[in-house]
Structures are given as C-alpha cells and as structure tokens.
Structure 1
Amino acid sequence: MTNALPRLSLVALALAAALAGCSDQNQAQQGAPPPPSVTVAKPTTRTITDYDEYVGRFAAVDLVNVYARVSGYLDKVAFKDGEVVKQGELLFSIDQRPFQVALDQAQANLERTQAELDFAQSDLQRAQTLIDDKTSNAISKQAYDQRLQSERTARASVAAAKAAVHAAQLDIEFTDLRSPVTGRIGDRKVSVGNLVTGGAGGANTNTLLATIVSLDPIYFEFTYDEASYLRYQRMVKDMGDKAQSIPVRLQLIDEKGFTHEGMLDFVDNIISQDTGTIRGRATFPNPDATFTPGMFGRIEVPSSAPHQAVLVPDVAIGTEQTRKFVYVMAPGDQPQVPTMKYVTLGRVYDGQRVITSGLGTDDLVVVNGLIRIRPGAKVVGKAEAPAAPAASPAGASTGTPAKTPAN
C-alpha cells in the first residue's frame, strides 16, 4: 500500500506534463492574438470665449421705504399686500380734516394781510402826492417814511401768508401717499386707525408703512478677487469701444444652463481691504418677474476675447496622479505603441474639452478605447466615422442650432 502512493503521484505528474504540452502546441498552432483597435481623430477647433463663474444675488434697481410726510391717523389702505403697483398709484390716505382746518386758517390770514397791504398802499400813495407838492407842508418826511415802512411790512406779511397757504396745501397733498416707482409692494406695516408719525424726523422717528421694490429691469450683484479684476481690466483695454457693453449669462439654482442674458454695467471703484474682492453688477431684463431681489444665482462673466481653441472629447482624457494626458498616434493602420502627451485643460463645451496647451491641431488623438491601451503594447488606430446627420421631422424647418451654454 505504501509503494502505491508514489506510483500514483508519478502518473499524475506525467498526465499534467502531457496536457501542458498539448496546450502549448495548440497556442502555437493558433498564433498570438491580434492587437486591439482604438478610434482616433484629430482635435476640433472652434471660436470660443472663456468665462468665469461667480455666485451672487439679485438686487432691486429701486427700493423705496414708504414713510408718511405728515403725522395723523391712517384712514385708508388702497392696495393688497404683495401686488404690483404703478408709479403714482394711491397707497395710503391719512385723515385730511385737521389739515383742511389749517388750510382754511392760512387762507383767512392771507385775506387779512392782503387787506392790510391794500390800505398801506393807498395810504402811501396819498403821502406820496402830498410830499411831491413842494408848496405845501402837509406831511413831514418822517411821516412819509413811516407809511412807506408800513407798506413794506404789509407786503412781507402777504408773502408769508401765501407761503403758509402753500404749506397747508402741501400737507393736504401729503395725506395721500402714492407710489414713487412701479414695482412690487410688500405687506402693510400699519393698519387703518393707527397714528402714523411723519415729517422731517427721518427713519428713526417716522413710521414705516410699506416697502416697494422695482422688478424690471433688475440688478445682479457679485464679487470677484483682485487677480480677476486685473485680468478683466486688461481685457477691457484690449477690446476698446466694444468694452462699453459686455454680455453676461445667468443660471438659477434649479436650471441646467446659463440661459438668461444680461449686460455688465458697473464695477465698484474700491477693493475691499477686508476680503480683497471688488463688487460687480449686471443688469437683466425681468418682464415676467421671474427674478426677485435677494434670490441667488450663478453668473458667467467673459474672461477673454473670442479666440480659436483646440477641443477633444472629454472621454479621451486620462489621469496620471495630478496630471492629465491624451494618447496620440501616427497616421496609418499599422500596429503601433501610442504616445502619451500631457495637456492642460480648459472648460467643457458641448461635451468637448478645451486643451489650452500640449496638443496640436494635426495630432491623431485616441478618442475611444483608452481602456484597451497597455504600457508598451501596440494597438491599431482606426479613423473615427463621421457622425450621421440628425433626421428632421417631416415639415420641420432647419436653422442655426441653439448655442449651448458652458457647464
């Protein structure tokens, strides 16, 4: 029994050797596997504009806090909370009766002073006639001067009375508070019947009644760093007259692309010493009131003039630690080892990645099949087939394709 075990082991080894020999013989007969194939294509070129993205928020062009100009009891509220009001539309009314009494008193005082002026003028005219008569001593020079002074005093009293009437009329006009701008009004801060304080006391003492914000157009404010500011200043200098209107694009938090277009219209004149940033502002049309003050969004600001750029599909780019690369091949269908080129990346446009450096326009780039490439192994590069044109629906007209915003 002991001698049988070594014999079985020798038999097993012999069988394994025979099988291995058969496998090697079959592989030799079949030959080595062919090199894998990859798809190659030249980079595309297109005119693009580089953009920087910033987060900011909307702000109203006009923001008005409505305060009363006169003090009194609130008599009427003529709007609904949150509605859009037109410029000149009535908002609040204050009880006019005390101001009407003051106006009546001022007008009565004006009539009294006017009567005094009429008498003083008649008295002065009589004195003037007497003093012009050189043969008569009916009036002295002192008496004439006194009548002249009385006429001037009466004239000044009339002017003061007219000013008082005008002030009383203004107070009555101020009892009706009208919207100074067109925009959306907030909720009322005071109900009918409450005493409101107005006048020249300012916001610390006067009663705030409501707040109005304009809607169309609307501002979008954002901040950017000092380095970006210098880059923009140089770009604006190179653009010359075209820099007077710089277009920008906007994306809301629930949107996929930068679909809203506006114009950059203001850059602050001071860089903040606390944050090292400067404030910029763009204006956007808002006819349907989609934007509202305080809302956040993302803005794209041009950081370069339009220029030619080299682009490759984003899937053609590989990563080696912190560096990015693409594989390039020589023309022809013969098997060859791809060459690795390190590149510097830019933005993505319609699925195409901008290559800012490291790649030429005549290079054949591996755009499909990167996972088949092994270090030192040969592959066969096949030209990428041209994309088939998309079929248009029956009756549909073709035109310029819509420009897709940058991601």
Structure 2
Amino acid sequence: MTAAKLPVAPRTLSLALVLVLALMMGCSDDKTGEAPDMQASVKIAQPLIQQTIEWDDYTGRIEAVDSVDIRARVGGHLESVHFTAGARVNKGDLLFVIDPRPYQAQLNLARAELERAKIRRELAKNDLARAENLHAARAMSAEDYDARQKGLREAAAAVASASAQVDAAKLDLDYSEIRAPISGRIGRAMVTPGNLVGIGIDASVLATLVSIDPVHVYIDVDEQSVLRYRRRAHQLNPKSHDLTGTPMQLAIADETDFPHQGHIDYLSPRENPDTGTVTLRGVFANPEQWLIPGFFARVRIRASEPYPALLLPERVLITDQTLRFVWVLKADGQLDYRHIVPGPRIGNLRVIREGLAADDWVVVVGGQKLKAAMPVKPEKITLDAAGTP
C-alpha cells in the first residue's frame, strides 16, 4: 500500500521563500560593509622642560661620629651600674662605680705623707735660718752651712713629691666612678656588679657608647664620578676643587623621598686599587635619631647646578638591548623609532640628554605595539608636571 503525498500549503512556501531571501540579503550586507579601521590610536605629547638638579645615587652605611668602648682605668670590684641599656646619656653622666674604699685609703695615706713632708720642710727652713746667723758670726763652717741649705731643698722636693702622690691618689679615686666621655646612646652593661674588673690591654669592655647627632655616612664612588664632582667644584670656585661642602641627601629603608640633608666632609686621599673606588664621607644632622649607626642608606650627591632639562615619563622609554628609544611622530605623519641618550631619573621622569628636541611629538600612550610605517591616529595632549597624560 503506497502512502499518499500531502499537498504543501502555498502559505508555507511563501514563508520559507521570505526567510531565504532575508538570509541572502544579510550576507550581502556583510560583504559590502566598510573595512575595519587599521590605524592605531596613540596619544602624543611634547617633552616637559623643567629646571632640574641632577643627583647621583649610591648605597652607604651610617656610622657614628664618635664610638667609645668604656673600660675601667682602675681595677677593683664593680659596685654598681647607673644607666639603662639603650638609653641616651650626656657627657659626664655617672655610668659605673668601682669599690672606692681602697682608693680613698690611698688618698688618706698620701695626704698624711704630704703633711709629714711639710713639717720636715719647716724644720729645715728653721735650721737654715739659725745657720745663717751662725755663719754670719763665723760660728759655723761653710760645710755645715751648705748642708743646711741642701736639707731645705730636699725637704721642699719631698713636699712636691708628696703633693704629686696626693694628686695621683685623687685621680685613682675619681676613676673609681666611670663617667660618660661623650654624649650619645649607650649599649647594655657587659659586666654586672660584683665582678672584678681589670685595667690595661686586657681590661674588659664594660659598655659601648656611640654619638647620635650628627652621624657620618660612608659611600664608595667610582673614579669618573669623583673627577666629575671635582671639576664641578672647580667651576664653582676656580681657586679650589675641594669636594667639602658638596650637598648630599639621604633616605633610609622606609623612606621614598630623601628628607635628610647633609654635605661631604671627607674624601679619601687615595683610590682603592681592588675596587677602583674612592671613599667619600658625608655628615648629617640627626636630631630625631632616625639615623642609627649600622643602618644602610640610599645617598644622593648633587651632580649639577639647576638647568632647563627635557624630561619624559620613564614608562615611555623603550629598552632595546642596551639602547633606549622612543616613538616620535614626524611632521609627515610617519613614525620615527628615535634613539635617545637618557640621563638620571627625577621621580617618575627621565632626563633626556640627546636625541630629542623641545618641539618633538613623542608617543606617550599606546606605543607598546607600534611598528615602523604603521599608520596611527594621534591625539595631542599635554603632560603635567609629574609626567602624567
């Protein structure tokens, strides 16, 4: 039995035909639309011109101007400690006391000897006075008279010797009280009360005391930089090329800028042949005591006088092996892959020493994927003082 074919409704055929025609028209529209824009959108700006001072960066170590190992000058049992570890002390403050009784006894003995010597001197003086009368009356021989004179001189010398012994005993008694030789911050006591302390080369260090204001900072500088600094100093003062007084700035680990101001106060008289560097020392005020001896620090040395410099944001510069480049849009609309010579970094900006003119238009946004001869759609903008578009 053969199945009967059902007739197709004319309305169904019409709807299918409309759908096919619509699909064909859509394809036709896609093929005849405009081609996508192949120009790269970029933002261009002219370099900033700012009065600039160049600084060279180094790593240095902070050192105390004065550092003293406290040792006893007389021996004996340590009786007491009079400071708190880590505290600030002033010059002359009492730090340690060594049992003073033996030295007080020595002083008393020396004073007694001095009194005895003075009495003997008075006796010798009286003997000489009587001898002078007898010698004038020719009742005493010249030898006896000379002996009386000699006796007075010996007695006077004995007084001077006894007086010196008193002074020495006073010093020993004074040394039983150990006082701060400088102002600064003191470490912990290395010897506790009751221990016997000695003197001389084997004397124990009782504590360490370092000055805290001002501080020194030592850095190692290469030969070329030292010569450059000295030539600059000579330009400022033709009669000298001394670096003393050259401004320095310093920052410690948690500081982003350089808030501490100082200057060079020492230049090593010779170069280190192993490193090819010369040691420079700076001095910095430290009233708030943030600069602790032993800390590492970032140090900058002023390398120029103020001058108008061309600057670009650091992110704009392209590194190609060892060279630096920027994209420059020329007057004809073509891109120029321009080689430049950068200078030091000033915040987020980089000094451009060579390769750019003040009226050049530099790609500052969108230059990462550019290629030579690529068409671009530039938008001119102006950089603010920080180099932000």
Same fold, judged at TM 0.5 (above) = yes
CA displacement 1:304-357 (0-9 Å, x = unmatched) = 3332211122333234443322222345xxx72222221111233242221111
Structure 1 194/35 Cα, relative in aligned 2: closer, same or farther at 3 Å? closer
**Is 1:184 equivalent to 2:185 in the alignment?**
yes
**Is 1:45 equivalent to 2:46 in the alignment?**
no
Q: Which moved more, 1:154-163 or 1:314-323?
A: 314-323
- TM superposition shift of 1:385: 5.1
Residue 295 of structure 2 aligns with which residue? 295
Contact 2:69 2:208 in 1 (8 A): yes
**Is 1:353 equivalent to 2:350 in the alignment?**
yes
Residue 255 of structure 1 aligns with which residue? 255
Alignment of 1:131-150 (within 5 A): 131-133=135-137, 137-150=138-151
- Structure 2 counterpart of 1:139, which letter? M
- TM superposition shift of 1:162: 0.6
For 2:204 and 2:31, locate their aligned partners in 1 and report how far apart those are by CA, in whole Å: 102
Contact 2:243 2:267 in 1 (8 A): no
CA displacement 1:154-176 (0-9 Å, x = unmatched) = 11001101111111111111111
- TM superposition shift of 1:373: 3.5
Residue 17 of structure 2 aligns with which residue? none
Contact 2:244 2:266 in 1 (8 A): no
CA displacement 1:196-228 (0-9 Å, x = unmatched) = 112xx2xx2222211101111111111122222
* Structure 2: tracts of 5 or more residues without a match: 1-23
Aligned mate of 2:39, from 35, 41, 51: 35
- Structure 1 counterpart of 2:355, which letter? G
For 1:322 and 1:85, locate their aligned partners in 2 and report how far apart those are by CA, in whole Å: 54
Alignment of 1:109-124 (within 5 A): 109-124=113-128
User: How many equivalent residue pairs?
Assistant: 359
Structure 1 74/372 Cα, relative in aligned 2: closer, same or farther at 3 Å? closer
Q: Which moved more, 1:371-380 or 1:346-355?
A: 371-380
Contact 1:57 1:297 in 2 (8 A): yes
Structure 1 138/371 Cα, relative in aligned 2: closer, same or farther at 3 Å? closer
Q: Which moved more, 1:86-95 or 1:342-351?
A: 342-351
Structure 1 165/304 Cα, relative in aligned 2: closer, same or farther at 3 Å? same
Alignment of 1:130-209 (within 5 A): 130-133=134-137, 137-198=138-199, 201=200, 204-209=201-206
- Structure 1 counterpart of 2:203, which letter? N
Q: Secondary structure at the match of 1:370?
A: coil
- TM superposition shift of 1:22: 5.7
Residue 98 of structure 1 aligns with which residue? 102
Structure 1 273/336 Cα, relative in aligned 2: closer, same or farther at 3 Å? closer
Alignment of 1:229-248 (within 5 A): 229-240=226-237, 244-248=244-248
- Structure 2 counterpart of 1:268, which letter? S
Aligned mate of 2:376, from 368, 374, 379: 379
Q: Secondary structure at the match of 2:206?
A: strand
Contact 2:336 2:372 in 1 (8 A): no
For 1:115 and 1:264, locate their aligned partners in 2 and report how far apart those are by CA, in whole Å: 63
- TM superposition shift of 1:139: 0.7
Contact 1:68 1:196 in 2 (8 A): yes
For 1:34 and 1:55, locate their aligned partners in 2 and report how far apart those are by CA, in whole Å: 49
Q: Secondary structure at the match of 1:365?
A: strand
Q: Which moved more, 1:312-321 or 1:339-348?
A: 312-321
Q: TM-score, normalised by structure 2?
A: 0.85
For 2:175 and 2:35, locate their aligned partners in 1 and report how far apart those are by CA, in whole Å: 102
Structure 1 319/67 Cα, relative in aligned 2: closer, same or farther at 3 Å? closer
Residue 66 of structure 2 aligns with which residue? 62
Alignment of 1:327-406 (within 5 A): 327-331=327-331, 336-371=333-368, 373-384=370-381
